[in-house]
Amino acid sequence: MKVRLDLTELKMLQNLDLSDNLPYEKVRDLFVAMCFTGLRISDWSKVKKENIVINDGKETLEILTQKTKAKVYIPILPELKAILEKYEYHLPKLSDQYFNRTIKEVCRLAGINNKELRIYSEGGTTKDERIEKYKMATSHCARRSFASNFYNLGIEPFLLMQITGHTTQKQFFEYIDLDGKEQAKRFAQAVELKRNQSPLTIASKTGS
């Protein structure tokens, strides 16, 4: 199932006080870092201060991804920079199993408990159930959050694909998670932008 945290839910996660639970805090911080880079959890073991380069006066994370062996360049946004500096550019190394188990509890504590529709097959029968979002949070959810949230902000797909590693827009759009209401909102915004740029008229025929 496609699951991602939107920007409001990410802010809830960032604002969660975990100062009395450092293991949870490390998982939360790593998850947020992935949400602002699109990197897989396996790539963070290679991130060092030496991976930070200056690109046109802006700090950029340069890294060779482990799975696709592709070199990517990711702008360091303020949310990411704060986490990198907090850990002196050496984020915690955590196993997938521990991370995926713990991020669910962290999301629960942050109040990310709205229910999502889960559709699955059991014994050849298609079933569905509504389940709290925190129960479906994983490291992969962070990559999906990156792609979906920044696409929803208007970043062109081909720019995001340079980071996510998708080779076709078909793959990319199957990956992102935007519901019908968000798609309708994007359509309305695009039409309004076109109207502001130039007159937009829709011809109609009478008597048809």
pLDDT in tens, 49-87: 999 999 888 999 999 998 888 899 999 999 999 999 999
Q: What residues form DSSP beta bridges with 115?
A: 132
Q: Is residue 112 part of a domain?
A: yes
Asked whether the beta carbons of 142 and 34 are under 8 A apart, the reply is yes
DSSP state of 91: P
Q: What residues form DSSP beta bridges with 66?
A: none
Tokens of 175: 């990956």
Q: Is residue 208 part of a domain?
A: no
Domain count within the chain? 1
Find the CATH number of the domain harbouring 79: 1.10.443
Q: Is residue 187 part of a domain?
A: no
Res. 43: pLDDT tops 90: yes
H or E element, residue 75: strand 71-75
CB neighbours of 96 closer than 8 A, spacing ≥ 6? 41, 139
Q: Is residue 150 part of a domain?
A: no
Amino acid at residue number 43: D
Order of strands, sheet of 71-75, starting from the edge strand that comes earlier in the sequence: 52-55, 58-64, 71-75
Q: Is residue 153 part of a domain?
A: no
Q: Is residue 47 part of a domain?
A: yes
Taking the alpha carbons of 105, 110, 113, 116 in that order, is the dihedral positive or negative?
A: negative
Q: What is the pTM of this model?
A: 0.82
Amino acid at residue number 63: I
Q: What is the largest CA-CA distance in the chain?
A: 72
Q: Is residue 179 part of a domain?
A: no
Structural domain that includes position 78 = 7-142
**Which tens digit of pLDDT belongs to each residue from 12-24?**
999 999 999 999 9
- The model's confidence at residue 208, banded by pLDDT at 50, 70 and 90, is very low
Pick from 178, 121, 165, 186: which is nearest to 3 by CA? 178
**Which tens digit of pLDDT belongs to each residue from 110-165?**
999 998 877 778 888 887 888 999 999 999 999 999 999 998 888 999 999 988 88
* Confidence at residue 35, expressed as pLDDT on a 0 to 100 scale: 96
DSSP state of 52: E
Res. 95: pLDDT tops 70: yes
Q: Is residue 165 part of a domain?
A: no
